[in-house]
């Protein structure tokens, strides 16, 4: 998430009631998780295991729960509960806005776009030209839809990330302040769910097509001209490169990379990153020819065991 206008370090420290180390006028231009930060961003760290990673990341402001030496060119904010402080920033600068009409007056809708009856368009949504948003589709706040996009009925674009921190008293929700971006010529089937990024963006690349009942997790980036079959479930922070084909009921774990031109056959489950240009099958997924040979070998086991008796 970007701050418009940027925040001063001293201003942010006062809001959080936190001590700081750095120039009071040091600018914080946005906030992001550690794996997605860029210069100008604020990130947080609350475990010693990750201190070095955060302090040496591209983030230029770090919210941390221990007094440490400030790296050159960066600013530090000291808070006993960095996670809670980070969430409080989100709640202040990207607060939930209740809707008061079916299509928000703050939404920008391009020429030639058709919004069917019953569709919901949230606050600060941008929709390009010549799109079709079918009945009962819901596009949540801050989503960005390109030109010539089709979204079928009962799909939800921009639901919150499924992201919680375990506490002794239960789970603390990591409030989502990211977006969903659908690039030009994307088609989303009926009853799909595409979750917004936690602090970054979930992106579906130009020309990609989703069948019905697909789930796309937070901060996932899907490349151009991909095909994703019905009931596919792709967990968060996964990268799908261009021209990938994912057939029906495929499950893909989080934080993986699926290489350009890979094909994953139906009902497979992916638990590791896959090279591009190959076909995969099985649970866990492996190269299809290898998996089929394994299946054929297993089928021979009862006869082999019988002959040994």
Q: What is the domain range of residue 34?
A: 2-93
Instruction: Establish if 302 belongs to a structural domain.
Output: no
Query: Does a structural domain hold residue 129?
Result: yes
Q: How many domains does the chain have?
A: 2
pTM of this prediction exceeds 0.85: yes
Is residue 42 in some structural domain?
A: yes
Write the CATH number for 66: 3.40.1390.10
Residue 257, token pair as written in the block: 């990379």
Does residue 11 sit in the same domain as residue 66?
Answer: yes
Beta-ladder partners of 239: 221, 257
Residues 6+ apart with CB under 8 A from 290: none
Instruction: Check: CB of residue 123 under 8 Å from CB of residue 99.
Output: yes
Determine contact, residues 147/128, Cβ cutoff 8 Å: yes
121-141 burial, b at 16+ Cβ within 10 Å, e below that, comes to bbbebbbbeebbbbebbbbbb
Instruction: Give pLDDT, residue 113.
Output: 98
- If asked whether residues 126 and 195 sit together in one domain, one would say yes
Same domain, 131 and 83: no
The answer to whether residue 305 is domain-embedded is no
Task: Kindly report the average pLDDT of the chain as a whole number.
Answer: 96
* CA–CA gap between residue 298 and residue 122 (Å, rounded): 53
**Residue 124 CA to chain centroid, in angstroms?**
19
Contact 133, 121 (CB under 8 A): yes
**What is residue 304's predicted lDDT score, i.e. its pLDDT?**
78
Tens of pLDDT, residue by residue over 232-288, are: 999 999 999 999 999 999 999 999 999 999 999 999 999 999 999 999 999 999 999
Rg (CA), the chain: 23
Is there a domain that residue 297 lies in?
A: no
Asked if the structure places residue 162 within a domain, the reply is: yes
> What is the pLDDT, as a whole number, of residue 299?
85
Residue 59 · residue 42 · CB < 8 Å: yes
Q: What does the alpha-carbon distance between residue 213 and residue 219 come to, in Å, rounded to a whole number?
A: 19
Residue 103 within a domain: no
Residues 6+ apart with CB under 8 A from 27: 6, 7, 8, 9, 40
Q: What secondary structure does DSSP assign to 8-44, as a single string?
A: EHHHHHHHHT-EEES-TT-EEEEE--GGG--TTEEEE
Whether residue 144 sits in one domain with residue 276: yes
10 φ, ψ to 5°? Answer: -65, -35
| Pair (31, 116) in one structural domain | no
- List the structure tokens of 170: 């239960």
Q: What is the pLDDT of residues 49-103, one digit of tens each?
A: 999 999 999 999 999 999 999 999 999 999 999 999 999 999 999 999 999 999 9
Does the active-site annotation cover 79? no
Same structural domain, 66 and 183:
no
DSSP state of 125: -
In the set 134, 142, 218, 231, the catalytic residue is 218
Q: pLDDT tens, 20-64?
A: 999 999 999 999 988 889 999 999 999 999 999 999 999 999 999
Q: Is there a single domain that holds both residue 230 and residue 169? A: yes
| pLDDT (tens digit per residue) in 162-192 | 999 898 999 999 999 999 999 999 999 999 9
The total of other beta-carbon atoms located within 10 Å of residue 71's CB is 13
CATH of the domain at 183: 2.160.10.10
């Amino acid at each position: 998430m970007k701050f418009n206008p940027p925040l001063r370090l001293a201003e942010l420290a006062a809001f959080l009631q936190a001590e700081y180390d750095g120039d009071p006028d040091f600018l914080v231009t946005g906030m992001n998780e550690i794996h997605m930060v860029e210069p100008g961003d604020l990130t947080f760290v609350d475990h010693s295991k990750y201190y070095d990673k955060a302090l040496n990341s591209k983030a230029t402001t770090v919210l941390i729960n221990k007094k440490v030496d400030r790296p050159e060119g960066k600013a530090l904010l000291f808070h006993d509960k960095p996670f809670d402080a980070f969430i409080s920033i989100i709640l202040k600068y990207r607060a939930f806005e209740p809707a008061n009409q079916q299509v928000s007056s703050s939404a920008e809708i391009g020429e030639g776009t058709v919004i069917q009856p019953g569709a919901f368009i949230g606050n600060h949504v941008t929709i390009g030209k010549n799109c079709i948003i079918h009945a009962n589709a819901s596009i949540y706040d801050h989503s960005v839809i390109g030109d010539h996009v089709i979204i079928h009925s009962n799909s939800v674009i921009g639901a919150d990330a499924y992201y919680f921190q375990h506490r002794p008293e239960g789970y603390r929700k990591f409030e989502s302040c990211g977006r969903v971006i659908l690039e030009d010529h994307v088609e989303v089937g009926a009853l799909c769910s595409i979750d917004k990024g936690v602090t970054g963006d979930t992106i579906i690349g130009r020309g990609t097509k989703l069948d019905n009942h697909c789930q796309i997790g937070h901060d996932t980036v899907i490349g151009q001209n991909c095909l994703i079959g019905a009931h596919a479930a792709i967990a968060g922070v996964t990268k799908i490169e261009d021209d990938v084909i994912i057939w029906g009921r495929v499950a893909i774990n989080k934080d993986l990379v699926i290489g350009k031109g890979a094909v994953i056959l139906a009902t497979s489950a992916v638990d590791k990153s896959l090279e591009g240009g190959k076909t995969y099958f099985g649970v866990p997924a492996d190269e299809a020819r290898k998996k089929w040979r394994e299946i054929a070998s297993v089928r021979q086991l009862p006869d082999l065991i019988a002959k040994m008796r």
